[in-house]
Amino acid sequence: MLLKGIVLLCCKTLSVERTESATFHILTGKKSVQTVQDIHLYQLTKYYGVHRKLERTVYDRILKELHEEGFIIRDHTSLTLELTNQGEAWLQEIKEQLPLHYFNGLKFKSSAVLFLERLILLVQTFSNVGMNHFSFIPVLDNPLVENWVKEQYRLNKERISIYLNDLHSELLPLLQSIKGKEASIFVDRLSGHQYYGMSWEQLAKNYDMTIEDVQILLTGISHKMVHQILENKASFPLLYQVIEEGNNKRLMTESAYKTYQLLEKDYSIENIALVRNLRINTIQDHLVEIALYQMDFPIERYVPSDIQKDILAAIEKASSNKLKEIKGLTELDTTYFQIRLFMAGIDYVEQTGDINVYN
Amino acid sequence: MILMSTINLEKELDTYFGYQAFRPGQREIIEDAMSGNDVLGVLPTGSGKSICYQLPAMLLKGVTIVVSPLISLMMDQVKQLKAINIKGVVAINSFMDTKERREIWNKLHRYKLIYISPELLQRPDVQRKLKLVGVDLFVVDEAHCISQWGHEFRPDYLKLKKIITFLDNPTVLALSATATTNVQQDILSYLNKPNMIKHIYPIDKPNITFNVEHLSGEKEKQEKIVSLLKAYYVPTIIYFSSRLEAENISALLSLKTDRRVAFYHGGMESQDRIIIQQQFMNGQLDVICCTSAFGMGINKKDVRLVIHYHLTPQLEAYIQEVGRAGRDNKSSVGLLLFSEGDIFLPKNIIKGELPTKNEITTVFRQLKAMYDQGQTLPTTDQENLAVFQVSESKWRFLQYQFEKHDILKETVIKYDQQLWKEAFLAISNRCEERLIKKDKQLQSVIKWIYHTGCLRKKLYQDFQPSYTEPVDQCCSNCGFSWKDWQPEQLTHQREKAYSWEEKLKKLLLVDVQ
């Protein structure tokens, strides 16, 4: 029902202005200009990339069901769809029950995945070594996550039970802040000492949900947790590490990281340049770098929304991703810095590769 | 080479792996391999084949490399070794990203035991690097893959001979759990090691009872399984030839019995595969409904019942799968359920493994078009699969054939009209031959199913001259009754339903457990 609700909500917002694929691209987090533009224009950033595993066949099945239930009308020539009154009513009715406010796809889609994977392996590892059990099969194959957990073990091996205690007291309030069933699903996905958690299939069966709903719910819960932890770093020092450590700073250059620390203290660009005795251009370069890695980078502070729209329109018109061409197509007083920052912020660079393509 | 008299192998076995004694065959194979003799070892599944190279790898000065056809198998082995705290082990495969792989490359000399896929081993840079670090022992795992008479022919295995020469002829150890005399001969000749010392051990399992039941169809099969699961509370594996059936019957069984049932197949994501496998190992599950993807590298000792819902495409596969029962040597049962319509399933699977004439024609056309435009082939398998729109097994077959016929050299296409014409014919014929061969293998399974004499004798007759007398009932043809099969049953108390708060405490608060 959760995925269905989200699909219906996106379709409603996009209405007949977009084809029925647009929602699919949003949910799977497609990195195309069109999709990124859509989520900003229609304020669907929350749902961007919240179900990257979603298969097209499953999505089509959901549309078919929505159609059969009389919630949408599909136009097979224009490939658009529209909500019926019945669909509107159903959406209104279930909206309140669904944890829609958990989601923040654009901001957390990558960090929440990393958070969850690290947490799962962390719990399994520490739960085992806490019982002096050093031989177990890790449930995750990701070597990057494994290395990070190993590092945590190396740092904390003298104080395993304290670490586990801290982890427990940080996780508990987070889980208490969501519904009991949700907390239960979350805990059942975890593995520990001589115990393996549930597969997607088992969770779905146990909680009488579809696999897709379990998966997307767990994504939502992890978004909410990451949000709460970042909002209140002081209360979650350990979990903050799980999200941040080795994530942001190591990918940044040393110099950009210094700028980042000053930004965190609310210094302006000009002041940072002054304090660090660097040119403003250099600090701006740092900001672009930071925007690439800091998931909640406040782009609006440097690129107001009318400028954002201007850049989007220009990107749309441009035949290439060259900054020079895009700049030429802007209509407002938009700067190169703003374009680069904006493109970095919307994750656009991952697709285009190099951001320094001035000429 | 090492002077064997200076080493106490038992002591080393205990130090590294914690075993007190060798199992039959291990010591003999290890001694020969460590003295620098090329060895062919045929040992039954579950007899500790891998110790035969894992122990030498720890003791030899240089590197041991293991060519293994299945990535999941390699990963399992590495995980298990790491779990018992053995260091210097790594599995290299094409699924790793460049960064990861480069990291391993740079410290390759620090590893003792390197698992590698046959595809990756074809790369000249990989070969050069291995030559540089110096390979002492070259292990060909699942060596039957080298033979077209083996049940999983892998063309890349045919190229191992050249690589072994390039690596300055390290000692070669070829291992298999299933090699008929034909296949053994192929291994020696394709590896170009006619003087290999053969250590062939009987693969029959005296503690397994073979049972074939002819039923009228799906419904009867399902009823049979339900009643068996109700009667016997023992760790059970049920094999299917399709993922969907495994899922469906799994759902049915959890509905109709109170056993803890799950399915397992290659279409699941990796984390879920590990979870299900480990739940079964750990006794959190009683019954696994699975495809042939399950079981490689699993060593659960007390599987009592292995049921085949569908027949396997070769007897070798059956022997391997049924061999997962009773690793603790206690009485276990292999049950194959057969209804007449089942014959068509493997036939279709076999057809899907080889390119059709149409597909061969299309790929040839595409190659020509690419050649005309001066293009080369993509470098990764995944891209090639997308370009040529054929399945992985089909592409592997074609790629090998193209290289053999001098049409492809790595990614470069070479064109010669006459040569291409001949190659096209040869490749099409080759497919025909393979189909006929596979059909023959299937026929031998069907013959076995309809055999009226002793099933045990018939099953093993191509592999070894005789077999050990069964410890319990022999087979359904020699007379079998379920009544007389009384294995020790599990006693599982329904677990108390814990709240999530309690579960979290159990996971994290060590003193609570």
- If you search the block for the tokens 């202005």, which residue do you land on? A17
pLDDT digits (tens, 9 = 90+) for A86-134: 999 999 999 889 999 999 998 888 889 999 999 999 999 999 999 988 8
Chain A contact for B512 (CB, 8 A cutoff): no
**Chain A within 8 Å of B252 (Cβ-Cβ)?**
no
CB B207, CB B330: distance < 8 Å? yes
Interface test with B, best of A131, A165, A199, A225 (most B CBs within 10 A): A199
Amino acid at site A185 = I
Share of chain B above pLDDT 90, in %: 57
3-state secondary structure of B58: helix
Average pLDDT of the residues of chain B: 89
Measure in Å the smallest separation between the Cα of A140 and chain B Cα atoms.
Answer: 6
Do the chains contact at A164 and B499, CB–CB below 8 Å? no
What's the CA gap between B108 and B102, in Å, rounded?
Answer: 10
Is B215 touching A (CB cutoff 8 A)? no
Determine which helix (DSSP H) or strand (DSSP E) holds B288, and give its type and residue range. Answer: strand B287-290
pLDDT single digits (tens) A177-186:
999 999 999 9
> Are A196 and B501 in contact (CB < 8 Å)?
no
B4 close to B32: Cβ distance less than 8 angstroms: no
Q: What is the pLDDT of residues A18-61, one digit of tens each?
A: 888 999 999 998 877 778 888 888 889 999 999 998 999 999 99
Nearest residue of B to residue A193, measured between CA atoms: B507
Nearest beta carbon to residue A190 from set B276, B278, B507: B507
pLDDT at position A252, please?
63
Which CATH number is associated with domain A2-98? 1.10.10.10
Structural domains of chain B, with CATH: 4-200 (3.40.50.300), 205-235+300-513 (3.40.50)
Higher pLDDT, A146 or B494: A146
Question: Directed axis angle between helix A105-130 and helix A160-176, to 10°?
Answer: 140
pLDDT at B513: 47
Q: At B488, is the secondary structure helix, strand, or coil? A: coil
pLDDT band of residue A355 (cuts 50, 70, 90) is very low
Q: Would you say the CATH fold of A250-352 matches that of A2-98?
A: yes
Which of B75, B84, B272 has its CB closest to that of A135?
B84
What pLDDT is recorded for position B95? 61
Residues of A in contact with B505 (CB under 8 A): 168
Task: Return the residue in A129, A193, A196 with the most chain B beta carbons within 10 A, the one to mutate for interface testing.
Answer: A196
Separation between Cα atoms, residue B85 and residue A229, nearest integer Å: 35
pLDDT of residue A217: 97
Mean of the per-residue pLDDT values for chain A? 87
Buried b (16+ CB within 10 A) or exposed e, A15-49: eeebebebbbbbbbbbbebebbbbbbebebbbbbb
Nearest CA in chain A to B97: A143
B87–chain A Cβ distance below 8 A for any pair: no
Cα gap A235→A170, rounded to integer Å: 8
B463-485: per-residue pLDDT in tens? 888 889 999 999 999 999 999 99
Residue A315 in tokens: 């990107």
* Contacts with B276 from chain A: Cβ below 8 Å: 199
State how far Cα B137 lies from the chain centre. 21
Q: What is the arithmetic mean of pLDDT over B146-160?
A: 77
Q: What is the value of ipTM here, to two decimals?
A: 0.76
**Of A168, A186, A194, which has the smallest distance from its Cβ to B282's Cβ?**
A194
Nearest CA distance, A301 vs chain B (angstrom): 36
Question: Which candidate from B271, B284, B510 shows the least CB-CB separation from A139?
Answer: B271
Is-contact A275 A262, C-beta < 8 A?
A: yes
Distance separating alpha carbons of residues B363 and B377, to the nearest angstrom? 12
Residue among B274, B278, B500 minimizing CB distance to A175: B500
CA A96/CA A90 separation, integer angstroms: 11
Six-digit token pair at B139?
Answer: 């292990």
Answer yes or no: are the C-beta atoms of A311 and A334 closer than 8 Å: yes
Please give the Cα distance from B511 to A210 (Å, whole number). Answer: 36
Name every chain A residue with its beta carbon within 8 A of the beta carbon of B282: 194-196
User: CB distance A187–B504 less than 8 Å?
Assistant: yes
What residue type is assigned to position A45 of the chain? T
| pLDDT above 90 for A147 | no
Distance from B503 to chain A by nearest Cα, in Å? 7
Of the candidates B254, B275, B509, which has its C-beta nearest A164's C-beta? Answer: B509
Q: CA B192 → CA B90, B136, B145, B169, B294, distances in Å?
A: 28, 18, 15, 11, 33
What is the pLDDT at residue A212?
A: 94
For chain A, domain boundaries: 2-98, 105-244, 250-352
Nearest one of B418, B413, B399 to B368, comparing CA atoms: B413
> A326 vs chain B: nearest CA distance in angstroms?
32
- Do residues A253 and A121 lie in contact, with contact meaning Cβ atoms separated by under 8 Å? no
Residues of B in contact with A191 (CB under 8 A): 275, 278
SS3 B307: strand
The residue that leads in pLDDT, B174 or A356, is: B174
Contact list in B for residue A123 (CB cut-off 8 A) is 507-508
Cβ proximity of B427 and B360 under 8 Å = yes
Q: Which residues have CB under 8 Å from A290's CB, separation 6+?
A: A252, A256, A259, A260, A263, A297
**Which chain B residues are Cβ-neighbours of A164 within 8 angstroms?**
508-510
Of B269, B508, B513, the CB nearest to A168: B508
Q: In terms of DSSP bridges, do strands A80-83 and A72-75 run parallel, antiparallel, or are they unpaired?
A: antiparallel
Whether A112 contacts A222, CB under 8 Å: yes
Residue B316 in contact with residue B151, Cβ under 8 Å? yes
**DSSP assignment, residue A192?**
B
pLDDT at B252: 97
| Mean pLDDT, residues B158-185 taken together | 92
Which of A192, A200, A205 lies closest to B507 in CB terms? A192
Three-class DSSP category at B493 = coil
By C-alpha distance, the chain B residue nearest A168 is B508
What is the number of CB-based contacts under 8 A between chain A and chain B? 99
With cut-offs at 50, 70 and 90, classify the pLDDT of residue A247.
low
Tell how strand B89-92 and strand B236-239 pair up: unpaired
Show residues of chain B in contact with A199, CB under 8 Å: 262, 268, 271-272, 275-276
How far is Cα B423 from Cα B429, in angstroms, rounded to an integer? 10
Closest-CA distance of chain A to residue B276, Å:
7
Q: Which of A123, A141, A198 sits opposite B270 (nearest CB)?
A: A141
**Rounded distance, CA B313 to CA A231, Å?**
58
Question: Taking CB atoms and an 8 Å limit, are A141 and B274 in contact across chains?
Answer: yes
Q: Which fold has domain A250-352?
A: Arc Repressor Mutant, subunit A (1.10.10)
